[in-house]
Amino acid sequence: MRKHMKQGWRLTMKHFYIIIMLFLYELIWGFFLYRTVEGIAVPLLKRFPDAYEGSSSAVSLFMTESQFQLLKTDLVQPYAWLFCGLLAGRMLLTPFLNAGLFHSLHHATDEQGTKFLSGIRKSWKPVALLYLLETTLALLPAVWLLPQALKLFLASGTLVEFAKAAAPWAGAWLLWAVLLHLLFLAMQFGVVSQSGPLRALWSSVVNFLPFAGVSLFMWGIGALLSMTIASVSMIWAGLLALILHQGYQLLRTIMKVWTAAAQYDVWQSKQT
């Protein structure tokens, strides 16, 4: 595992300009998402009764009015369409970025250097098709799970009771999504290496344990870094917390590329 992480880091450093580009992309996306949520949430929060002056009846009236607006009117529809549009835009761009990055990882040993843009031109169609199929299969259980979750929520007395009952189903759905992600990731590696998605899928199934092991280990490092920075930000609030928060966005992008590079190195090492 250490060998794959070390090789993945070497590949990551060769793609540092791509990391900067992805960082700017995430920064712009986060800014627009933040401003969108702010434009919706702030006017609502201004109408919430003051914590010191408002009575419990005022809070109850606010909640009743909110429930009526959400359930009996079409107030939420424009916001729902807006968020669906933002999500669709991100989903549209993701296959292009994946195609460029994975193709460049495959050709990183060439003397010509990285090939991000040429990777987008050559591989975006099959990568986009695989991404769409993965997303569809990952969301398919929601057709059954979400109505059941709504029934369970309405039947539960407390949120804790609902969480305990829904946790096994949510965990199973998460495992299904992770399994799909790993298998389809290997298929995308097969597309950019021109070995074929089906052959790459079979190789990932045969060598699933090392492939999944490196993936889980890298995800664990990313989660640990996230919790550490979040804890430091809460303890030392102020300028240091702001610097850490902004710097973490770059660190998170590096971790994403490093994870993909380590996963690719594991997959590549098992090809015969």
pLDDT, tens digit, 9 for 90 and up, residues 158-171:
777 878 888 899 99
Residue 95 CA to residue 120 CA, distance in Å, equals 9
Residue 97 CA to residue 103 CA, distance in Å, equals 10
CA distance between the termini of the chain: 19
40 pLDDT tier (thresholds 50, 70, 90): confident
Q: Does residue 82 surpass a pLDDT of 90? A: no
The pLDDT of residue 113: 60
The pLDDT of residue 243: 72
Range of the domain at 33: 2-269
220 pLDDT tier (thresholds 50, 70, 90): very high
Residue 227 CA to residue 233 CA, distance in Å, equals 10
Residue 109 CA to residue 98 CA, distance in Å, equals 18
Q: Does residue 263 surpass a pLDDT of 90? A: yes
* Global pTM value: 0.83
For residue 34, how many other CB atoms are within 10 A of its CB?
Answer: 10
Number of domains in the chain: 1
Give the tens place of pLDDT for each residue, 1-25: 888 888 889 888 888 888 999 998 8
The pLDDT of residue 55: 57
* Crossing angle (nearest 10°) for helices 116-139 and 77-106: 130
Give the tens place of pLDDT for each residue, 26-35: 888 878 877 7
Q: Is the pLDDT higher at 140 or at 242?
A: 140
Give the tens place of pLDDT for each residue, 239-257: 666 677 777 888 889 999 9
If you average pLDDT over residues 195-211, what whole number do you get? 89
Q: Does residue 131 surpass a pLDDT of 90? A: yes
The pLDDT of residue 165: 83
Ranges of beta strands (E only) in the chain are: none
The pLDDT of residue 96: 92
If you average pLDDT over residues 105-121, what whole number do you get? 76
The pLDDT of residue 164: 84
The pLDDT of residue 180: 95
